[in-house]
């Protein structure tokens, strides 16, 4: 830290370091409004008034985002949604939304990450790639962490890499000696078979449709054909129930391998299954997650097993939590009737946009233009669009009003939730640029302005 600037970042993952070191690049610090097709600078007060007008005039606005801001801001957002009778949705809708639907159907045996760090002796990452999406997850909570009852696999990994490089060297020497072309060493299939590992050591299994970087670290990598997770999960359930499989392979995985995996699962003392959006975004969606949770439930008849979604965005878990304690529902909440209504598929933002039902939108700390499919994006940018975001994102470029805000956790304090629902209060470490308020404050002002605009209308009804 020097002169209100971050000079260097220590002990952070690549994503975090990139965030802290670059947060001030491509930064827009003045509010913008669209006039004659161009975004022009304006005052904060005017931008807030203009946003309030857009929202107060609309009959079915969409309020979307929330996962990259604090719980406090989300709370104000919900108040605003109720006031204007809009639909409020967070990024779960295109992330772990189906997981939530499955959890509502069959429940979720969970724990905190600390439990996993200290006790888990079998860690499965299913259709998630922590190496890329949660770079410190393995290091802090699972395979590479040193728990009270479980050792880190660092030593074993280093030995394996060492052995591999020696093997390559011998191969190269041999090929020179025999004047043959050096055999291209294919990626190792597995570093070890499950079951052949010493019992007391922590094991990691990665299940995915492509060989991700996470798979390289794992003891065992299981490649499933795209869209076949459901079949593989159900086959494992059958095996855990000691049923026989009468076919040779399921979803590209040989039956023997599945049997081994099922044995490893049953034999562990504390297993955990982390699943990623690979299950929720491919065919079957919530049914895939449903099958995964049922598998874990079945395993709990024989051993201790828990399951946890690998939640992505910064504070998406917090957004869900705040939505739930305020309205009773975790996402896709519709206030158009005056009371909260929840029906994903109907009141979820992508469906509303796809149908072209909404007539305005407020986007907070999110970039749907980059993340929604084309049809939904087209209807989002067609209508008046207000964006509150510290970044000048693709959505901001298409907006009618852009209000820059302070970064939560860097320039503003706030509460956020970790993926295991542990709340983490974040500190403010630098002063935001002049004129940039926290999201919470901006939303509060818009809400105030909306209430002022709607007041005469409300009194005329009486």
Partner 1 sequence: MIGLLVSLLTGRTIDQGCGKEYGKLSKEYVENVAVCEMNSKDMEKLNIRDGDKVKVTTEFGSVTVTAKKSRRIRSPGIIFIPYGPWANLILTSDTHSTGMPLLKGVQAEVEPTDETVLSLEDLLTQCYGKEKSG
Binding site for partner 1 (CB under 8 A): 14-15, 18-19, 22-23, 25-27, 37, 93-94, 97-98, 101, 129, 131-133, 135, 187, 209-213, 223, 226-227, 277-278, 280-283, 285-286, 312, 331-332, 344-346, 348-351, 353-354, 367, 369-378, 381-382, 391-394, 397-398
Q: How crowded is residue 109: how many other Cβ atoms within 10 Å of its Cβ?
A: 16
217 Cβ contact partners less than 8 Å away, ≥ 6 residues apart? 131, 138, 143, 144, 157, 204, 206
Shorter beta-carbon distance to partner 1: residue 305 or 314:
314
Which residues, including other chains, have CB under 8 Å from residue 261's CB and lie 6 or more apart? 194, 205, 220, 222, 236
CA dist 249 and 100 (Å) reads: 30
Q: Minimum distance between the CB of residue 393 and partner 1, rounded to whole angstroms?
A: 5
The alpha carbons of the chain give a radius of gyration, in whole angstroms, of: 25
Cβ 397 to partner 1 shortest distance, Å = 6
Identify which of residues 168 and 283 has a Cβ nearer to partner 1 in the complex: 283
How many Cβ atoms sit within 10 Å of the Cβ of residue 213?
Answer: 12
Sign, CA torsion 138/143/144/145: positive
- Rounded to a whole number of angstroms, the minimum distance from the CB of residue 372 to partner 1 is 6
Query: Residue 201 or 223: which CB sits closer to partner 1?
Result: 223
Q: Which residue, 142 or 393, is less far from partner 1 as judged by CB?
A: 393
CB of 445 to partner 1, least distance (A): 26
- DSSP per-residue letters across 66-126: -TTS-HHHHHHHHHHHHHHT-EEEEGGGGTTHHHHHHHHHH------HHHHHHH-SEEEEE
Three-point CA angle 78, 405, 363, nearest 5°: 45
CB of 20 to partner 1, least distance (A): 8
**115 vs 354, beta carbon nearer partner 1:** 354
CA dist., res. 238 & res. 244, Å (int): 7
CA distance 200 to 206: 19
Cβ distance to partner 1 smaller for residue 344 or 414 = 344
Angle at 134 between CA 430 and CA 326, to 5 degrees: 70
Written as six digits, the tokens of 176 are 């020179």
Shortest Å, Cβ 48 to partner 1 = 22
How far apart (Å, rounded) are the C-alpha atoms in residues 162 and 146?
21
With respect to partner 1, which residue has the nearer C-beta, 19 or 302?
A: 19
Q: How far is CA 432 from the centre of its chain?
A: 26
Q: Which is nearer to partner 1, 133 or 255 (CB)?
A: 133
- Residue (49 or 389) nearer to partner 1, CB: 389
E-assigned strand segments in 282-365: 304-309, 333-334, 341-342, 360-364
């Amino acid at each position: 830290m020097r002169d209100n600037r971050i000079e260097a970042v220590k002990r952070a993952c690549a994503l975090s370091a990139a965030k802290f070191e670059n947060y001030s690049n491509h930064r827009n610090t003045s509010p913008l409004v669209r006039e004659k097709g161009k975004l022009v600078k304006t005052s904060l007060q005017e931008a807030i008034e203009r946003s309030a007008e857009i929202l107060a005039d609309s009959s079915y606005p969409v309020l979307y985002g929330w996962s990259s801001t604090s719980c406090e801001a989300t709370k104000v957002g919900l108040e605003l949604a109720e006031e204007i009778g809009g639909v409020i949705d967070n990024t779960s809708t295109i992330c772990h939304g189906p997981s939530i639907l499955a959890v509502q159907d069959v429940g979720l045996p969970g724990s905190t990450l600390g439990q996993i760090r200290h006790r888990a002796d079998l860690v499965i990452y299913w259709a998630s790639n922590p190496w890329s999406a949660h770079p410190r997850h393995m290091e802090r909570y699972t395979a590479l962490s040193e728990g009270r009852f479980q050792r880190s696999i660092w030593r074993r990994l280093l030995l394996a890499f060492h052995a591999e490089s020696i093997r390559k060297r011998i191969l190269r020497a041999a090929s020179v000696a025999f004047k043959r072309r050096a055999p291209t060493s294919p990626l190792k299939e597995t570093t070890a078979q499950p079951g052949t590992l010493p019992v007391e050591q922590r094991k990691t299994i990665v299940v995915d449709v492509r060989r991700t970087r996470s798979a390289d670290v794992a003891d065992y990598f299981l490649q499933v054909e795209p869209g076949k997770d459901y079949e593989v999960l159900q086959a494992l359930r059958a095996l855990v129930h000691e049923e026989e499989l009468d076919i040779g392979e399921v979803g590209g995985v040989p039956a023997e391998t599945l049997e081994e995996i099922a044995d490893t699962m049953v034999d562990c003392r504390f297993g955990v299954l982390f699943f990623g959006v690979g299950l929720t975004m491919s065919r079957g969606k919530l049914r895939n997650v449903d099958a995964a949770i049922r598998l874990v439930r079945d395993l709990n008849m024989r051993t201790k097993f828990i399951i946890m979604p690998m939640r992505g965005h910064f504070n998406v878990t917090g957004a869900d939590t705040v939505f739930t304690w305020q309205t009773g529902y975790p996402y896709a909440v519709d206030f158009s009737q005056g009371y909260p209504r929840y029906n994903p598929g109907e009141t979820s933002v992508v469906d509303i946009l796809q149908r072209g039902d909404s007539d305005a939108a407020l986007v907070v700390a999110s970039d749907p233009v980059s993340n929604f499919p084309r049809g939904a994006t087209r209807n989002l940018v067609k209508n008046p669009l207000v964006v509150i975001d510290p970044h000048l994102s693709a959505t901001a470029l298409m907006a009618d009003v852009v209000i820059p805000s302070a970064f939560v956790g860097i320039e503003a304090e706030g509460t956020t939730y970790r993926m295991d629902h542990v709340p983490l209060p974040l500190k403010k470490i630098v002063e935001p640029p002049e004129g940039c308020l926290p999201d919470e404050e901006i939303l509060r002002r818009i809400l105030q302005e909306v209430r002022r605009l709607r007041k005469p209308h409300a009194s005329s009804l009486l």
